[in-house]
Every structure is written in structure tokens, then in C-alpha cells.
A and B are shown apart, each in its own frame.
Chain A
Amino acid sequence: MLYINCPHCGMRSQNEFSYGGDASVKRPELNKEVSDQEWDDFVYNRKSLRGKHLELWQHISGCRQWIKVERDTSTHEIFRTFKADEEVA
């Protein structure tokens, strides 16, 4: 079971969180014309990465904040975690 460092609460077990998918996806702005391709990339197309992956988790049984977690998808190693509004360098 993963041990995730919630930037708001500290180290917590995985069972307090729910997974939210790829954190690098950016929603197209409202009222902006987007091509089918652009929209499909946003809604459906995801890379199934092996290795370092920036993903979203919500601390659903804790502070309820959405956070970003940099995790290796094959080893489960967690490198860093970020608040929702924190820039990932």
C-alpha cells in the first residue's frame, strides 16, 4: 500500500486517497474553438507510461484536496508531491 505525502496533511496511507489520472492534462479554455483532435486528446487519449508519471490524487478521506503526485508507475516510488496550484518544476 502506497504511503503518500499529502502536502497539506503529511504522510498518509493510500486508502485515504482516490486516484485521479494524469495530472499533465490541461482542460481547453471555456468558449474556445477546439478541434476534434484537441478535444479527444483532452477527454480520451492518455499515454500508459512506464516510469515517472505526474498524476492526480484526491485526499478524499482527509483534507479533500486534489494533489499532484510524481510516481514511478513500475516501481511505485513516489518522488515528490505538490499542492494543486503548485508549479511542477
Chain B
Amino acid sequence: MNQAFRIVDGGLVNRDKKLSFKFNGKSYFGYEGDTLASALLANGVHLVGRSFKYHRPRGFFGAGVDEPYAIVQLYRNGETEPNIKATEQELFEGLEAKSVNCWPSVNFDIGAINNFLKIFLPAGFYYKTFMWPKSFWYRIYEPFIRKAAGLGVASTKHDNERYEHKYEYCDLLIAGSGPSGLSSAYAAAKNGARVILAEDKPRFGGSLLTSDVNIGNQSGKDWAEGIIAELKTMPNVVVKNRSQIFGYYDHNMLVMSEKVSDHLPKTKKYHPNKRLWYIRAKEVLISSGSIERPIVFGNNDTPGVMLSSAAKEYLKVYGVLVGKKPLVFTNNDSGYETAIEFKKHGVDPIVLDSRKNPKSEIIDEAKNLGINIKNSYVVVAAQGYKKVKSADIASISDDKKQLGKIESINCDCICVSGFWTPTIHLASQSGNKTKFKEEIDAFVPGQSKQNEITLGAANGVFSLEETLKTSFAAGSKLSKKITKNDKDIAIPNVVEKKSSQHDKFWCVPLPKGKNYKRFLDFQNDVAVSDVEIALREGYRSIEHVKRYTTLGMATDQGKTSNLNGLQLVSEIENKVVPAVGHTTFRPPYTPVSIGAIVGREVGKHSKPTRKSPMHSWHEKNNAVFVDAGVWLRPRYYKMGNETLFEASKREAKNVRTNVGVCDVTTLGKIDVKGPDAAEFLNRVYTNAWLKLPVGKARYGVMLREDGIVMDDGTTTRISENHYHMTTTTAQAANVLSHLEYYLQLVWPDLNVNVVSTTEQWAGAAIAGPKSRDLLKKLFPNFDLSNDGLPFMGYMEADLFGVKARIFRISFSGELAYEVNVESDYGNFMWEKIMEGGEEFNIQPYGTEALSTLRIEMGHVAGSELDGRTIPYDNALEGLVSKKKDFIGKRSLQRSAFISEDRQRIVGVVPLDKKTSIPEGSHLVKDAKAPLPNPKLGHISASCWSVEYDNPFSLAILKNGKNMIGEKLFAMSPLKNKVIPVEIVSSHYVDPKGERVRS
């Protein structure tokens, strides 16, 4: 294509670099520095999509973040991204994009039938229609809405791009690089403040790029370039383009999304695609400018109808004419500026001004150029389906209620200006209560809430001179507060044309007998009539009107529609706009890609991975790992083609008959030291601790204050004032915080210190009838007889020269020991154990066998200590001291906790001795009882008993104490199983505990 709408020269694009791109499969050319939007317009392409609800043809409306229409599916380097605004996407060689929300094509879209059915799609359509019959919801309505909803299509592939997060601090954060942003940044930087200046567009300068002004005897654009060049040389300043500050959070934390690579065909090596900046600023200057708002008229969504400021930007920045027969429809002087630009490039515009007799320098200039101006004239409706072909225009009475005779004039675009809306989103997000400013018919920030001030157009100040004055002053004042420097920065003189008062007029009345759609929200297809219906149906709060009609709820968040919506509600309700109020602005100001929010915390980086010192040994020996919190633990060691079930059975059986070794490094370990350590443990655990001798371990249970078991484990008295506490893997961090809480806040008088030593020790549990024989080999010089190291004994020994701790404790219920060495010797210890154990047929065992061993012994673990059980429920009431007080003791007197039929742990065996019972199954009396079938308990853990070679489970059962011998049913609706079972003692194997003491 030939770029027929590109002017001969002018604009800021690089005409020496031609770029090819594809839109909807067709090839075009543009220039470096174009956006996808400007390049399409240069080629005369106006039809880019279909609207959300009615599938009406849609073109371009804006030239930046405010764009409601031109949302495309982008293809870049083999990836695809939905919901990209063509007005923001910079052109690169080979770019490919497609229209969304249309099928089979943007030119012929079957969904457009909705446009003719629109009478059946009023506001609240979904709420009204998809209510009944209920059974239709899943089968018919929901899939239909899913198909109809949404704009682009998310990729289902793994995203290979990288996204980074950055944390930054500064004295001043400045949002927006227009005249106020540049001035305040310059003044502050000159006074030594650390400044970050962020601009969402690729080019700095904001409105100075398109306005016809003079600052310090240079054009506005040249002045901006000079300031930016100087700021970039200063070490205390960071200037960032393509960076949108999208959220203002508590305590002056702002978040900015920097598009690092989106403008390139491919992300450079070692570069991220996007970078998310978390910036903690001492002071924030919001200079986010303003967005032009439309005037509402019939068919105002036709492609070719666009904001007058956008038309000017396409011309001045990109050298592109949005039309060759432009009609400018305005209620203020901004429309004239656009008309003048057209005229200067040899195109004759017609200006319709709703005002009767406005006078200003700008209007005089337009008149002097011979521009055709019609006062008290409005556009009644745009005509043309896929592109504006003509406009119905009419004169309008002074009270703006009566239209004159309708005339038709030819035009190929309608540039509309309904004055300016300050961009107050960031100020509002900071908690600032905005106020309505009558002179500009818009909201501006009120009293500062955090350390933020708003300057320039964002604050409703549209005079350049005043903007520069206040912004230089603000930059100096804020930097002085921080750096104490007070350098006087000269404010350059400004030449700008004075403008006249705008007209409050915002919506053209419908002519008699016509029923044109007049759109308020262009992306969600919300028309004047929809809001009228909502109000007729009784919606009053603007927040409700918004949700019912979806006004302002699209991805553009109503940047061009909110204020007109408020005007409409205020008119119908006969209230002033501030009484209607506006909906709350929430972050993000513009859509942020999920990838940027997630950053690098994806996949295995989403949490840390902790490995024991013996990890590489496990890997070499075919361990299959399981996540245990953030730890990786061997679940089983695979031999040949073994399944998990076969391997765990083999490993557990070997512990019961020979000897096994399990990596228990992950257990939480806490050193408790100090003269009051015994007293502290006595208060933390339910059982007695004051008389535990040095060299002995004790099993303890700790409660929360509400009486629920928090954790269990053994604690060993290493020396007089030194205890070694172990916790479960999962609760290690919580237990440490819990202990610190009591030591620091509740009993600060206790002289005790706690510190985590989990990572300092590598642990191996050696269990089985032959474990003592093995230990004797490993520690030949120590007395490991039953008298030398009895059950719950502790000994310090050395393992071939390495200092080791031996605890005679058992989780498996067998004769067992736990050996600890310093972490660096973990692998050494493990290899020695395996070597020495060979003659005793030692095998390593994983967590699955570990579970089997503890379940059939009736030892409780996390699945029983699930935050809902008390000591009694776990058959641990023998460990609850009656004599002393401890954390949570008083709660154990609660009536439910002492009731006769209190739940209690039991064993469960299927009657057929074959069917494994799924964990989580419910225990019921009668499998055929009507629903809801009363639940008596639940299966907490299941295993295959290697001792008896049949399935065995633990359960927490109501009145468990008196249920031994009962026949019940285990029901698992999830697995569709009903299993007749018998309740037995939870101590299925070695109920007297003789083995551990042998």
C-alpha cells in the first residue's frame, strides 16, 4: 500500500526507515516511530474491530491510553498477546496483528446481527435473561456468554519472555513528562533531589509535542528535548520512557510498568520483556495531563469519528491525515487548533462550534486562514457504516434543546472536542478526595492525602504559563524540603495563545422521529438509552448504574466516557454532577500484563526449593521426590519397574525386619538456651519438663491458646541450660514465631533465647531391629547397649572423627536412632551408614514408607494434628499435665472438649481386608441413609499395613473411645466408594510399645 494519507513531510517519524507489517493478513508499510494505529491510518485503514455487544464496526478514537476501540491481537516472535491497543503499540519490522471480536472477518462479521437485535439487548440484558430455567445455566447460557465475552485470546503456551521486578527509592517521583512534569523535574534535579521522571509514551514532552507554543524562544517541542537531554546527564535523575505509573498504593508506594521490549521485533538477549518498578517515593508529583472528552451525538461510534486532539497528534507527531475532508465539531477552542493544523497542510476543514459567538486569538487565527466556521451548529448524526461518509448537521438553539433544519454535508472524518478531563486517577488512588471544578466541568484533586501534589492539566490548569510557574515552584519547594538546597531556577518566558471559555454543552438531542444510538462508553457499547433505562428501573447510585450498564467497566476504564455518563445521570436526576459523585478509580490505570505482575516468580521460582545435604545421593539412587513445604524429600527409592505402592511396601517391610535409613534433615530444629529454658518449655508443652535430666529426650505436645494442638516433637536436654527442640517440617517457622511471641511479649522476664538450627544439622533416622547392630559398627567406641543408651536417651559421639549426636527416638515404632551431624558432613554420614548397613540389608526409605510405619503404629502426624484436634482426640491426654499451667490449658475445659462423646483417634480396617480406604472418606453408620447422611468421622491417613498385609487407616471418630469393634461404612463420593469397615484400636502394631524399648 502507498501510505496515501501520509503528508509529504513533517511529523517525528523516521522516514528513512521503512517498516513492513501485516494487519488481518494484509501487508502494509509504515515508518520507524509510528504506532500500529498511525501506520494503519497512513494507509487509510479505519476499520479495525467490532464492538463488544452489537459488533458495530469500530475504528480509531484516540491516539494513546484512552483508546477504547483499536484493541488487537498481536503476534510477535512466535508469541501472541491479546488486548493490545494499536494506539500504544509501536511499529516494528514484521509486526503482525489481527482484529478481535469479529467472525469470520472484520469486514463481514456475523455477530453484527446483534446490532439489528439491539432492541433485545438493553442494559442489564444478562441479568434479566439468563436467570431461568436454572438448569440452562451450565449447559447453555454460561458457554454462550463465555464465547461472546472477552476481546482477545490469551495464549495457552508457556510464556518464554522474562519479566523483572525492581525496587527503587527516590526523593521525587514525577508521573508524566509534559510541561509540568519537565519543569518540576528540572527544578528539583537542579537542587540535588533524586528524581525519577516517568513517561508512558516513547517520546517525552506530552502536550508540547503537539501544541503551538513557544518557551524560552524555542518551540515547546525543542524546549522539552533540551530539558530531557540535560536531565539525562544528571546522576541524580532517572528518566524513563515507555513507563506507565499505574498504581498509587499506601505510604507513597507507586508501581510502574516499563515496556522494555514491546517496540522491538524480538526481546534482546538478557533483557526482560517488561520491568515492574516498585517505587517508594518521598514526594510524588502527578503531572499526568488531561484527556479530551467527546461530545455525544448519533452514531458517534462510526469509524472516522475521533477525538480532535488525536487527529492533531496523528498529524503533528506521525505526519498522518486522519481524513481529507475533515469536519471538526467542538465546544471549545481546542477544535480550532486541529482545524488550523489541517489547513496548514492543505486540507480544508469545516468547524462546527456549539457556541454562538466565541472570541479568542485562536479563533481569529482560524478565521484569518479562511477556515469555514459555523457557530451554534452541531453534528446530529454521523452517516456511513464502516466509515464516515457524511454528517447530518443542524443549527442549535441557545438553550441547546431545539435543532434547526437538518442538512447533510460530505466529510470523511469527524474530529470531536468536548473539552478536557484532567487525568486524576493516580491522585484518586492515593486517597485524595476529588472535587468538582465548575469552570472546567470536571473533577480535580482536592486536599492531598499522601505526599502527593497534582500539577498542570491534571489539576485542571490549562494555561501553559501558569503550569510552568506552579511546576517550577513545586519542584523547588519539594526538593528544598529534602536537600535543603534553594537554587533559584529561572522560569522561561512563554508565548501561547489565549483561549476562550468552553461551552457546557455535551450531548446533542435526538431529532424528532430518529432513534440514533448515541454512545457514552465506546468499548462496552453503552448508549445514552441504556443509562436512561437503568435510571427508569430505579438505579440511583452511580456505582450501581455503572455495574448495571457496564458504563466505564471496559479495559479503558471509561477514560473517555465517565464524565459524560455523570453528566447524563445528573441531567436526568436533576442534580449537579458533584452530587452524583464519581465511581472510585482503582489501580491499574492501564492494563498491566500478568507476566509483569508475576515477574520471575514462576514455575520452580515461585517458591524457594530447599534440599537436604544428602539430596545428590538420593538423586543418584533413583529417589522420587515429593514437595514437603518448600523442601524436596525422597518419597520412595525406585527399584526397577516398581510402583510407588510396591516400593513403599518394600521399604517399610525392610524397616520392620532388618534396618532402614530415612533422611530427616527437614525436621524443624530450634535451640532453646538460657537459665530459664526448662521453665519456658514447661509453659510451652503440655507435659512436665522441669525434671528432664541432661542427656535425655522427651516427646512433647504444644497447644495454641485455644486448646488445639499446634505441633509435636521431641526435645532433648543437651546440657544444663541448652535444649534441642524438634518440630514437624511444616510447622518449623510458625513454632519459632510462637516461641518468640511468648518470650518477647508475654514472659519477657524469662531468660531464654531461641534460634533456628534446622539448616545446621543433617539428620538420619536409622530404624529397625538391626539398627543397634549397625550403630555399634558406626560408633565402635561407645556404649550403645540398652543400658548405655536407653530409649529416649541422648549421646554425643564421633562418627569416624566427625562430631555426631545420637538420639534414641523412634517415629516408626521400631528400635530406632536419629543421628545428627553438622550439615556439611551429611553426605559423609549417609555414605557411612549405607556402607556399614550393607551386611544388615539396609535400605533407604522415603516419606511414603515413613507414613506407613507411623500409621500402623498409631503415631499422629500432620493429618491428625490438622488444626482441629485437641490432645484427647489424638490419644495424647496422658501427656497433659494436671498439675502445672501451660499455653492453652484453660481452653481444654471448654464443654465441647470434655464432652462424653468427644471425637478420638481410632484404627479402621476394611471388612474384606483388601480394599484401601481413600483418605478423606467419611465414616457413617448407614451407607443408604438419605442425604445429608450424618458424618461420624473421617479417615485421616491410610496405608497398607506391612505387618498384617492388609489395608489400615487412622480416623478421627465421634465417640471414638466407645466405638472399638463397631461396624461402619467408609464413604468416598469423590472416588465413588462405599467400604464396610471395622473400628479397631489406633495402635495396630505393637500396642505395648515393646519394640522401641528393646
B-binding residues in A (CB < 8 A):
1-3, 13, 18, 20, 27-28, 30-31, 34, 39, 42-44, 56, 58, 60, 64-66, 75-76, 78, 84-85
User: Is there an interface contact between A44 and B706, defined as CB atoms closer than 8 Å?
Assistant: yes
Candidates A2, A31, A39, A65; contact of B885 at CB < 8 Å: A31
User: Is there an interface contact between B748 and A2, defined as CB atoms closer than 8 Å?
Assistant: no
User: Is there an interface contact between B251 and A84, defined as CB atoms closer than 8 Å?
Assistant: no
A-binding residues in B (CB < 8 A):
249-253, 278, 280, 431, 683, 705-706, 737, 740-741, 744-746, 748, 884-885, 890-891
User: Is there an interface contact between B746 and A27, defined as CB atoms closer than 8 Å?
Assistant: yes
Candidates B251, B740, B744; contact of A2 at CB < 8 Å: B251
* Chain A residue at minimum C-beta to C-beta distance from B889: A30
The answer to whether A1 and B249 touch (CB under 8 A), given A31-B885, A39-B890, A58-B740, is yes
Interface core residue of A27, A44, A78, A85 (most chain B CB under 10 Å): A27
User: Is there an interface contact between B705 and A42, defined as CB atoms closer than 8 Å?
Assistant: yes
* Chain B residue at minimum C-beta to C-beta distance from A42: B705
CA distance A31 to B889 in the complex (A): 10
User: Is there an interface contact between A66 and B253, defined as CB atoms closer than 8 Å?
Assistant: no
- Residue pairs across A and B with Cβ atoms less than 8 A apart, 18 shown, are A3-B250, A3-B251, A18-B737, A27-B705, A27-B746, A28-B890, A30-B683, A31-B884, A42-B705, A43-B891, A58-B740, A58-B741, A60-B737, A65-B744, A66-B745, A76-B250, A78-B251, A84-B745
Write the nearest CB–CB distance from B952 to chain A, whole angstroms: 36
User: Is there an interface contact between B253 and A3, defined as CB atoms closer than 8 Å?
Assistant: yes
User: Is there an interface contact between A34 and B740, defined as CB atoms closer than 8 Å?
Assistant: no
User: Is there an interface contact between A66 and B891, defined as CB atoms closer than 8 Å?
Assistant: no
Set of chain A residues within 8 Å of B737, measured between Cβ atoms: 18, 58, 60
The answer to whether A43 and B744 touch (CB under 8 A), given A13-B280, A30-B885, is no
CA distance A27 to B889 in the complex (A): 13
Interface core residue of A44, A60, A64 (most chain B CB under 10 Å): A64
* Chain A residue at minimum C-beta to C-beta distance from B884: A31
* Chain B residue at minimum C-beta to C-beta distance from A78: B251
User: Is there an interface contact between B705 and A43, defined as CB atoms closer than 8 Å?
Assistant: yes
* Chain B residue at minimum C-beta to C-beta distance from A30: B885
Candidates B249, B705, B741, B884; contact of A66 at CB < 8 Å: B741
User: Is there an interface contact between A85 and B890, defined as CB atoms closer than 8 Å?
Assistant: no
Set of chain A residues within 8 Å of B891, measured between Cβ atoms: 39, 43
Interface core residue of B278, B748, B890 (most chain A CB under 10 Å): B890
User: Is there an interface contact between A1 and B745, defined as CB atoms closer than 8 Å?
Assistant: no
CA distance A76 to B278 in the complex (A): 19
* Chain B residue at minimum C-beta to C-beta distance from A60: B737
User: Is there an interface contact between B741 and A85, defined as CB atoms closer than 8 Å?
Assistant: no
Write the nearest CB–CB distance from B547 to chain A, whole angstroms: 24
The 8 closest A-B pairs by CB, nearest first: A3-B251, A30-B885, A84-B744, A31-B885, A66-B744, A76-B250, A1-B253, A39-B890
Set of chain A residues within 8 Å of B745, measured between Cβ atoms: 56, 66, 84
CA distance A31 to B748 in the complex (A): 17
CA distance A20 to B748 in the complex (A): 17
CA distance A45 to B745 in the complex (A): 19
* Chain B residue at minimum C-beta to C-beta distance from A33: B890
CA distance A66 to B891 in the complex (A): 25
Set of chain B residues within 8 Å of A20, measured between Cβ atoms: 741
Set of chain B residues within 8 Å of A66, measured between Cβ atoms: 740-741, 744-745
Set of chain A residues within 8 Å of B251, measured between Cβ atoms: 1-3, 76, 78
Set of chain A residues within 8 Å of B252, measured between Cβ atoms: 3
CA distance A3 to B745 in the complex (A): 23
Set of chain B residues within 8 Å of A2, measured between Cβ atoms: 250-251
Interface core residue of A1, A65, A76 (most chain B CB under 10 Å): A1
Query: What would 4 more interface pairs be, CB under 8 Å, given A27-B705, A44-B706, A66-B740?
Result: A13-B253, A30-B885, A39-B891, A66-B745
Candidates A30, A31, A43, A60; contact of B706 at CB < 8 Å: A43
Set of chain A residues within 8 Å of B746, measured between Cβ atoms: 27
Write the nearest CB–CB distance from A26 to chain B, whole angstroms: 9
User: Is there an interface contact between B740 and A1, defined as CB atoms closer than 8 Å?
Assistant: no
Set of chain B residues within 8 Å of A39, measured between Cβ atoms: 890-891
Write the nearest CB–CB distance from B597 to chain A, whole angstroms: 14
CA distance A84 to B250 in the complex (A): 25
User: Is there an interface contact between A84 and B748, defined as CB atoms closer than 8 Å?
Assistant: yes
Write the nearest CB–CB distance from B688 to chain A, whole angstroms: 14
CA distance A6 to B745 in the complex (A): 16
CA distance A76 to B884 in the complex (A): 42
Set of chain B residues within 8 Å of A65, measured between Cβ atoms: 744
Set of chain B residues within 8 Å of A28, measured between Cβ atoms: 890
Write the nearest CB–CB distance from A63 to chain B, whole angstroms: 11
User: Is there an interface contact between A34 and B741, defined as CB atoms closer than 8 Å?
Assistant: no
* Chain B residue at minimum C-beta to C-beta distance from A66: B744
The answer to whether A1 and B890 touch (CB under 8 A), given A58-B737, A58-B740, is no
* Chain A residue at minimum C-beta to C-beta distance from B742: A27
CA distance A43 to B252 in the complex (A): 35
CA distance A49 to B884 in the complex (A): 36
Set of chain B residues within 8 Å of A85, measured between Cβ atoms: 744, 748
Write the nearest CB–CB distance from B753 to chain A, whole angstroms: 11
CA distance A2 to B890 in the complex (A): 36
CA distance A66 to B252 in the complex (A): 25
Set of chain B residues within 8 Å of A58, measured between Cβ atoms: 737, 740-741
* Chain A residue at minimum C-beta to C-beta distance from B891: A43
Set of chain B residues within 8 Å of A13, measured between Cβ atoms: 253, 280
User: Is there an interface contact between A34 and B885, defined as CB atoms closer than 8 Å?
Assistant: no
CA distance A18 to B737 in the complex (A): 10
CA distance A42 to B252 in the complex (A): 36
Set of chain A residues within 8 Å of B683, measured between Cβ atoms: 30
Write the nearest CB–CB distance from B326 to chain A, whole angstroms: 48
Write the nearest CB–CB distance from A69 to chain B, whole angstroms: 12
CA distance A43 to B887 in the complex (A): 11
Set of chain A residues within 8 Å of B740, measured between Cβ atoms: 58, 64, 66
Set of chain A residues within 8 Å of B705, measured between Cβ atoms: 27, 42-43
* Chain B residue at minimum C-beta to C-beta distance from A34: B890
Write the nearest CB–CB distance from B864 to chain A, whole angstroms: 22
Write the nearest CB–CB distance from A3 to chain B, whole angstroms: 4
Write the nearest CB–CB distance from B283 to chain A, whole angstroms: 14
Set of chain A residues within 8 Å of B744, measured between Cβ atoms: 65-66, 84-85
Set of chain B residues within 8 Å of A56, measured between Cβ atoms: 745
CA distance A20 to B734 in the complex (A): 12
Set of chain B residues within 8 Å of A78, measured between Cβ atoms: 251
Write the nearest CB–CB distance from A49 to chain B, whole angstroms: 18
